[in-house]
Structure 1
Amino acid sequence: MKQYLSYFLCLFTSLVFSQEDRTNSYFDINYFKGNIARHNDDILHLIDGHPSGFIASWNKKTFGKKAWQERYGYPDYGVSFAYQDLKNDILGDTYSLYGHANFYFFKRNIILRIGQGLSYSTNPYDRDTNFRNIAYGSRVLSSTYLMLNYKKERLFNRIGLQAGLSLIHNSNANVKAPNTSINSITFNVGLTYNTDETDTDFIQSEEDKKFTQPIKFNAVFRSGINESDVIGSGQFPFYIFSFYADKRINHKSAFQLGTDVFYSNFLKEYIRYRFVAFPEDELEGNEDFKRVGVFAGHELFISKFSVVTQYGYYVYYPFDFEGRTYIRIGLKHYFNDKIFAAMTLKSHAAKAEAVEFGIGIRL
């Protein structure tokens, strides 16, 4: 890890001393150490030591040039690189790249960072050489991290300090089995470096706080690939058709009500597997793999992006798989007022089923 940290510090130094014009940005680097959460007893043999590593980030500050920036307390956005040594030869190490956003509270002394990206695992599951790694079934993983810090900028000229807690989640979202995932809960401490001598003043707008829209109707097509928890059962495409209405009640929020139709092809293979391997289930082997759900949801608008959360219930449920309720959470990006793309995670409680990629229209 020292080698990678040295590389970053060299890059950090060269970038710092090359700054001449105002950038309204800052760098930070955080060292972390902690524990792997015992969220599943099946991973007990993978919890040996205390994972450690670093997170290095570039952050762009906002000062209210756009209305949404003031609404959310002038957040930052940026990119992060993370290295994590999981202190277990079976798990190996992970290298991660994220896009992130920072939100401030309590006179900008408390910062909450939310990062989403991809991780690369150096030692995933392999049937012949690494069959004990049931956490990761693939080298490329979906990764999320949360960081809650107490932060003081410019304590020593442009240098500041921060410390707090981080949660790092790595999973392949059932793209390929196995997938019990790893959650690291850590303490972190770090330095910040502002690239400008002083900060720009915040802009106070006179935006009309009242904002509503009439009910809008949405249609979304989602797809991807996934696999059941049965290792080696194969990856299959899935198709989801979603139809819902939403009502935007202010600049930030809209509420949703709609329905999903699921064509989950991995369930075909899983039903056949259960029919053969578990006769006590009394299956016929030809149960319908399709499901239909109804859901209520919320959408949080942030510039051209939004955060979607939905809670659903299967009204057509011919085969029992992980329960009748489901959750969807993810991001949308609006290309214009009508067309959007979406990347969402569908799960049953804490058990992921699929990462969904979608395209939709809002009328």
Structure 2
Amino acid sequence: MRLSPLIFLLLISATAAGSSLVDSTDGRYGFEARLTYGFLVAHRPNLRPLQERHLRSIEFSLLVPTDGQRGWQQDFAFPEKGLQLAFFDLGNAERLGLGVALYPFLDFPLAGQGQWKWRLRYGMGLGYVQRNFDPEVNYKNTAIGSKLNGVIHFDLRVRKRFGRGALEGGLGITHYSNGATAMPNLGINLAAAHFGYLQYFGTKSPKHHIQLLRVRSGFWATAFASASWKEIYPPLGRKYLAASVSGDLFYVLSNKVDAVLGADLFYDQSLRVRMEATEKSPQPGSTNLRPGVHTGLQVLVGKLGLLFNLGYYPYTRFQEDGRYFHRIGFRYYFPRLIAVMNLKTHYARADFVEWGIGWRFRSTSKTP
């Protein structure tokens, strides 16, 4: 997604002004309900027919405040963890129908004074679209080719506290994509304003304000392998294997952020097919392999790493994708193993999802 740099900048700036003056959490847990009103973003001209009317949704969230017992909670000014369930009227009953999204999220305080706070919510999970593409009965839905999809959500909003309740209002984006596992996959982007009410319950917990003794520094490294499948045009065709092997060298910038430099080798079984379809006289040596190099940043939230990468193909026979690729995703760090999920894209067009497992190499610096 093109909004990834903005998400990253907001995440690393999560240092809510005045949060050190608060001695306890707002409660043990909280419930939120909110209403949204917005529109489907036609990021390609052929998506404009889907913009029949404005979209609406009702959303419910469970939130759990953090108390700073773990170092990352203090680094991010005591964020909240949660689970959100959203029901969308997508604004086009015939071609899109209803949508559902379910995703865990982290809710970060950014800045504010007194009872007013700016906050950022960032989540990834699963989504359902009632009416996906069908060549006979729904051929005008060129946005999404599957009912089950991945979802990325973020919103920026202001919260006004009073007692154990709060009112919130803001703007957000919800993105549906199946990662090119089914065509078409231009994706559905929902932009909406929202207004909600939040109520906390349960016993308040004292906040830990003394920074835990953990200072990250130096370099560390990981490697992972991934495998997935993808579909190319025309829709409802063959599935092709997509795989990658990647290595990353991380340089610690702070307790929250690492700089990343890495190398990749991608295998895409569909490349030869696409080349033969576009070249009148296919040249010898056509290959499904292409190397890559990448750089980027990782935001560490405990054992969870949120990644934002920009990559380049030093060599590729297939030119229609361009030379640049992007990654947005996450990895979870176990003592030595890592679990990886990335969405690899060419600009705003999904290439494939990297489902992977990897290894974290030993380092003298303290890492996740």
What TM-score results when the alignment is normalised by the length of structure 2?
Answer: 0.85
What is the distance in 2 between the residues matched to 1:49 and 1:355? Answer: 31
Q: Is the 8 A contact 1:228 1:267 kept in 2?
A: no
SS in 2 for 1:132: coil
Listed as ranges, the matches of 1:132-143 within 5 Å are: 132-143=140-151
The match for 2:208 is 203
What is the distance in 2 between the residues matched to 1:232 and 1:273? Answer: 17
2:187 matches 1:188: no
What is the distance in 2 between the residues matched to 1:98 and 1:145? Answer: 8
SS in 1 for 2:320: coil
2:137 matches 1:129: yes
Q: Is the 8 A contact 1:174 1:229 kept in 2?
A: no
The match for 2:171 is 165
Amino acid at match of 1:310: N
What is the distance in 2 between the residues matched to 1:202 and 1:284? Answer: 65
What is the distance in 2 between the residues matched to 1:210 and 1:67? Answer: 10
Identity of aligned residues (%): 27
The match for 1:316 is 315
What is the distance in 1 between the residues matched to 2:288 and 2:253? Answer: 37
Distance 1:30 1:285, change over 3 A: farther
What is the distance in 2 between the residues matched to 1:66 and 1:243? Answer: 29
What TM-score results when the alignment is normalised by the length of structure 1?
Answer: 0.87
Q: Deviations over 1:177-236 (max 9, x none)?
A: 00111111111111111113x6433211143574313x3232210111111243234211
SS in 2 for 1:236: strand
Gaps in structure 1 of 5+ consecutive residues: 1-21
TM superposition outliers: structure 1 runs of 4+ over 4 Å: none
SS in 2 for 1:68: helix
What is the distance in 2 between the residues matched to 1:211 and 1:314? Answer: 32
The match for 2:4 is none
Aligned residues: 332
Listed as ranges, the matches of 1:1-363 within 5 Å are: 24-88=28-92, 89-107=94-112, 109-153=117-161, 155=162, 157-196=163-202, 199-208=204-213, 210-213=215-218, 215-275=219-279, 279=280, 282-284=281-283, 287-336=286-335, 338-363=336-361
The match for 2:16 is none
SS in 1 for 2:124: strand
What is the distance in 2 between the residues matched to 1:102 and 1:315? Answer: 38
SS in 1 for 2:234: coil
What is the distance in 2 between the residues matched to 1:158 and 1:219? Answer: 46
Amino acid at match of 2:250: D
Gaps in structure 2 of 5+ consecutive residues: 1-25, 362-368
Shift of residue 356 of structure 1?
Answer: 0.9
Distance 1:195 1:227, change over 3 A: same
Shift of residue 327 of structure 1?
Answer: 0.8
What is the distance in 1 between the residues matched to 2:193 and 2:292? Answer: 40
Q: Is the 8 A contact 1:271 1:286 kept in 2?
A: no
The match for 1:15 is none
SS in 1 for 2:314: strand
Shift of residue 295 of structure 1?
Answer: 1.2
Shift of residue 273 of structure 1?
Answer: 2.7
Q: Deviations over 1:56-78 (max 9, x none)?
A: 10001001111110000100011
Of 129-138 and 100-109, the range deviating more from structure 2: 100-109
Q: Deviations over 1:247-269 (max 9, x none)?
A: 22432222222211011012232
Distance 1:231 1:285, change over 3 A: farther
Larger relative contact order (C-alpha < 8 A, sep ≥ 6)? 2
The match for 1:12 is none
